[in-house]
Amino acid sequence: MSTPDLSRQSLTAGILGDALLTVEQAHRGQTSWQDVMHQLRAVTSTPIDTGPDSCLYYGGPALLFVLHSTTADGVPRFETARATLTDRVRSTLRRRLDSAEARTVAGDFAAFGEYDLFNGHVGYATLLRVTAAETDEHAAVLDYLSRLAAPQRVGDVWLPGWWVGHAPDKAMQTPGGHVNNGMAHGAAGILSALALAARDGHEVPGQRDAIEALTQWFARCGQDDDTGSWWPQWLTRDQIRHSADGPSLASRDDLAQPARPSWCYGTPGIARSLQLAAIVLQDEALQRDAERALTCSLRQLPSLTEKGICHGTAGLYQTVRRAAADAHDDKLAQHLPAIARSLPLAGDDPSSTTVRQIDDASFLTGESGVDLAALSGTADPAGDENFTRWDACLLLT
């Protein structure tokens, strides 16, 4: 008996990314809805996983995100499938929230799989914000994220609530765990999810306090040097200082220099999250500081050696586009042409672009994500040129 190919259900590395790209193209009249059907049949050729491991980037939630994108023009496509998946996703989320509550009561640390964008509750908050914002489950996951932003007492020290007991990567060990700052797995993702929901008018008690607390966290661990403002990708126990004001960055000389300007971990993602928070808080100084940090990070553009969304130029391009649309001035928009030169133009000969040589058709690191970002470059930077708001799954809009 053959093993089902579950990668088909993955937005991270599977063919769902191609399906999302095809939906965007269909809305633009660049391909047919029959092509969309063909892609979705390939995705659903195996049973869709809506179990405890399903998340925004895998299984039923990922498919629901793509199916919802087909309705961007107001045509109610795939109604039965969307309704069924929505019910199952809400049920799975309730069980996952119960598990997180039990973990909290036990006093254990969280893990990426519980709360982050790719696998956890930040991803669920993102999905429900665009598909089922008025549900009890959306309010419940916003409440969870708001509480996660509060410091937790561990013995005689205070640690950020999203502290994890594991390392950020097997190759980068952090004995005793670490606190993550990035959009994909850390504080920036939590902050963006809360701020975007509030910007859309969806708030629960404590949410605004959590947004303020997270901006204060970034203020306490931010760095300023001749490259501009930046933040460590993560901090270990030895790099945390404890005080009455809460945990912050200790004064140390062993911090790495600014990370590459990526969406997932670098200054661009963090700066976008702070910009979104500033808009919600109506804090003009914070917004200008965030936009300035993002602009300064673009000096490091040559350090990006990949094209993809996660840690390449496509992700940087989309982050800057969304930030530029909300910015006080046009300084960010002025940088878009330089970043765009690393992306294929719509209609280019595939053999003439670097991206087409990527041996990866996935959304996060490969071809479909780069193509979606390239399509964004065909309209006015200040406009909402993405018919499907596909970059909502990146916490950019």
What letter does residue 32 receive in the DSSP assignment? -
CA dihedral 160→161→166→172, nearest 10 degrees, is -40
Closest CA to 146 of 162, 166, 165, 124: 162
Helix (H, G, I), strand (E, B) or coil at 180: strand
Give the helix ranges, DSSP H, for the chain. Answer: 16-27, 33-43, 60-69, 79-106, 112-115, 121-131, 136-148, 187-199, 207-221, 267-281, 284-297, 313-326, 336-340, 367-376
CA dihedral 142→163→182→292, nearest 10 degrees, is 90
Q: Which two tokens stand for residue 189?
A: 């993702």
Rounded CA separation 385/389 (Å): 9
Cα 156 → chain centroid = 33
Rounded CA separation 31/45 (Å): 22
The HSE-up count of residue 104 (CA atoms within 13 Å, CB side) is: 18
Cα 109 → chain centroid = 22
Q: Which two tokens stand for residue 308?
A: 């993809």
Kindly state the helix (H) or strand (E) to which residue 157 belongs, with its residue range.
Answer: strand 157-159
Closest CA to 186 of 259, 102, 110: 110
310 is in an annotated binding site: yes
Rounded CA separation 330/269 (Å): 19
264 is in an annotated binding site: yes
What letter does residue 355 receive in the DSSP assignment? G
328 is in an annotated binding site: no
CA angle 347, 57, 321 (to 5 degrees): 45
Please give the annotated binding residues for Zn(2+), written as ranges.
264, 310-311
Please give the annotated binding residues, written as ranges.
264, 310-311
